[in-house]
Copies of this chain bind each other. A is one copy, B any other.
Amino acid sequence: MTHAIAPCILIVEDDPDTAEAMAQAACDVGADPVVRCSYAGGLAAAAGAEFAVIMFDRMLPGGDGVDAIAKLRAAGSTALVMVVSALGRAANKIEGLEKGADDYLAKPFDPDELRARLRALLRRKAMVALDNDVMVFGDLEIRLKARTVHIGQAHVALSPKEFELITYFARNAGETVTRMQLLEHVWNLHFDPQTNVVDVHVGRLRRKLEAVAGRAVIHTARGQGYVFDPQREGAA
């Protein structure tokens, strides 16, 4: 499961009423809409954040949304692209689909159909994420199936126990996790072994993460336990 953050949908549309209807459809399917009204503004927004779906009009101030697709892909974007356009003949659809759009909807559109197609695209998007059970915290990414951790492009080499630890921490991100919780859920022990096994292992994990991230990722809550918060600034 992708960490519980609503997907973002970028809408690039110069007609305010149409943009409004598209934003409403995005909200209706549980996504956060971000609206831009020009070709350049749309490209800039796409470069600045992760979007699950990008909806482009064709005749925009500054360019044709279909031409933006190659630019998005060249920049590494994996967003699914829906073109929404008054250019609705089959030839227009074919051109858009062949230039890399994932769906093409002609204007004027039925809002219910737009919603249904957005849901279908988001289902598709979820397939990739579900296939790897990804948890993302800024530049820190945990792939549960592949059992890998990356910070930015850098792979963090973890032992099996360290991976179990960070998984438990990630599932309780931002909350204080006690040593007894870790003993129960990571070591499957329901008593105190009277050793500092938890401290030692958490220390190992911390040093590996800090070496790559260049900042503290696991913080000590003195007298309580630890807090996993990769996006907090400052020392442990």
Counted per complex, copies of this chain come to 2
Stretch of A7-15, A34-42, A90-98, A197-205 contacting B (4+ beta carbons < 8 Å):
A90-98
Contact B94 A120 (CB under 8 A): no
Q: A103-B103, A124-B102, A146-B145 are in contact. Are A112 and B131 (CB under 8 A)?
A: no
Given contact pairs A90-B113, A100-B123, A132-B132, enumerate 6 new A-B contacts (beta carbons under 8 Å).
A80-B124, A94-B115, A102-B120, A103-B103, A131-B132, A145-B148
Task: Give complex CA distance A128, B124 in Å.
Answer: 9
Task: Give complex CA distance A147, B116 in Å.
Answer: 37
Task: Give complex CA distance A225, B44 in Å.
Answer: 55
Which residues of B are found within 8 Å of A98, using beta-carbon distances? 116, 119
Which residues of B are found within 8 Å of A132, using beta-carbon distances? 131-132, 146
Task: Give complex CA distance A87, B119 in Å.
Answer: 20
Closest 5 CB pairs of A and B: A97-B116, A146-B146, A90-B110, A94-B116, A90-B113
Q: A90-B110, A116-B93 are in contact. Are A78 and B146 (CB under 8 A)?
A: no
Q: A90-B112, A110-B94 are in contact. Are A101 and B120 (CB under 8 A)?
A: yes
A127 on interface, CB distance cutoff 8 Å: yes
Task: Give complex CA distance A128, B94 in Å.
Answer: 24
One of B80, B93, B102, B127 near A113 (C-beta < 8 A) = B93
Which residues of B are found within 8 Å of A215, using beta-carbon distances? none
A117 on interface, CB distance cutoff 8 Å: yes
